[in-house]
């Protein structure tokens, strides 16, 4: 995504590159004044875990949450340069409720070019809460199969490879981006373990599902073999089962 300067300490230049994040004019959208909404790692981890669960119906594993935190940190200077809770510094889209303008740069023909508002390159998504921004960021990743597959792998290298598959999430040097991502994933693993689903939680959910299935298999025959069932549902094929 396009960055205003500076974002990460490595000054990674990330560009929207005219992908599906193209700036558009959306009817009914409201412009918010550009402001920095700093987010701590704990706040980000909590918001991303909630956002992921809203999108998928389940909590992210610690490995997946660490990837989300790592990229969030890389994109936003470790949370110090979050504009209106835009977790991924994504460009304004037609589905946004709110948007904002701020100075940014893009890599064009191998060179960094700066843009100033109201240039369309300076239009970005905006949100009013960390939870809204985090959920939107997860949805953005999910809309691109190779980005999403990389994320669900829980592996840094695989995630980065997905992000570099066209349409690319960024235009920075892949090796440099990967190194920075790896550093941040390691740095924020404690938060990922705290707010992500643990192995025992996932195992417990699976065992609960197996247990419920077993109960159905145990009690179902007792139901359809009963006289009351056969009397109530005389045409049911289940009444013919042994």
Rounded-to-integer distance, Cα 173 and Cα 86, Å: 23
Least confidently predicted of 50-64, 158-172, 194-208: 194-208
Tell me the average pLDDT across 186-195.
Answer: 97
pLDDT of residue 129: 96
Which of residues 226 and 139 earns the better pLDDT score?
139
Angle at 24 between CA 19 and CA 27, to 5 degrees: 145
16 vs 95, 114, 150, 158, 172, CA distance in Å? 17, 13, 19, 21, 11
Q: Give the per-residue pLDDT at 62.
A: 97
Residue 158 has pLDDT above 60, yes or no: yes
**C-alpha span between 104 and 33 (Å, rounded):** 15
Which of 12-26, 137-151, 225-239 has the largest mean confidence? 137-151
**127 against 199, higher pLDDT:** 127
Average per-residue pLDDT in the chain?
A: 81
Of the listed ranges 86-95, 183-192, 232-241, the one predicted with least confidence: 232-241
- Enumerate residues 6+ apart whose C-beta is below 8 A from 211: none
Which pLDDT does position 173 carry in this prediction? Answer: 86
Residue 230 banded pLDDT, cuts 50, 70, 90: low
Mean pLDDT of 149-178: 93
Quote the pLDDT of residue 176.
Answer: 93
Q: What percent of the chain has pLDDT over 90?
A: 59
Burial label, 71 (beta-carbon count in 10 A; 0-12, 13-18, 19+): buried
Provide the pLDDT confidence category of residue 17 given band limits of 50, 70 and 90. Answer: very low
Whether the full predicted model's pTM is greater than 0.85, yes or no, is no
Question: In this model, does residue 178 exceed pLDDT 80?
Answer: yes
Confidence at residue 105, expressed as pLDDT on a 0 to 100 scale: 85
More confident residue, 200 or 66: 66
**Residue reference for tokens 């918001």:** 47
For the cut 70, the answer to whether the pLDDT of residue 3 exceeds it is no
Residue 237 — very low, low, confident or very high, per pLDDT cuts 50/70/90? low
Alpha carbon 205 to chain centroid distance?
Answer: 22
């Amino acid at each position: 995504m396009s960055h205003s300067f500076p974002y990460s300490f490595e000054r990674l230049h990330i560009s929207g590159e005219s992908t599906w994040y193209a700036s558009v004019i959306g009817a009914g959208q409201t412009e918010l004044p550009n402001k920095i909404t700093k987010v701590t790692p704990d706040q980000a981890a909590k918001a991303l875990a909630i956002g992921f669960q809203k999108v998928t119906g389940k909590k992210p594993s610690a490995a997946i949450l660490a990837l989300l935190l790592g990229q969030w940190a890389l994109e936003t200077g470790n949370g110090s340069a979050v504009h209106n809770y835009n977790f991924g510094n994504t460009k304004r889209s037609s589905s946004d409720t709110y948007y904002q303008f701020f100075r940014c740069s893009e890599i064009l023909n191998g060179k960094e070019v700066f843009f100033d508002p109201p240039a369309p390159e300076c239009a970005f998504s905006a949100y009013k809460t960390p939870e809204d921004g985090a959920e939107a960021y997860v949805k953005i990743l999910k809309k691109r199969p190779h980005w999403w597959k990389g994320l669900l792998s829980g592996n840094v290298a695989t995630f980065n490879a997905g992000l570099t598959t066209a349409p690319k999430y960024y235009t920075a040097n892949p090796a440099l981006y990967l190194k920075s991502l790896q550093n941040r994933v390691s740095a924020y693993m404690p938060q990922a373990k705290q707010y992500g689903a643990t192995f025992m939680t996932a195992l417990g959910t699976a065992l609960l599902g197996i247990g419920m299935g077993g109960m159905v298999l145990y009690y179902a025959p007792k139901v359809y073999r009963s006289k009351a069932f056969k009397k109530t549902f005389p045409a049911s094929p289940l009444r013919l089962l042994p």
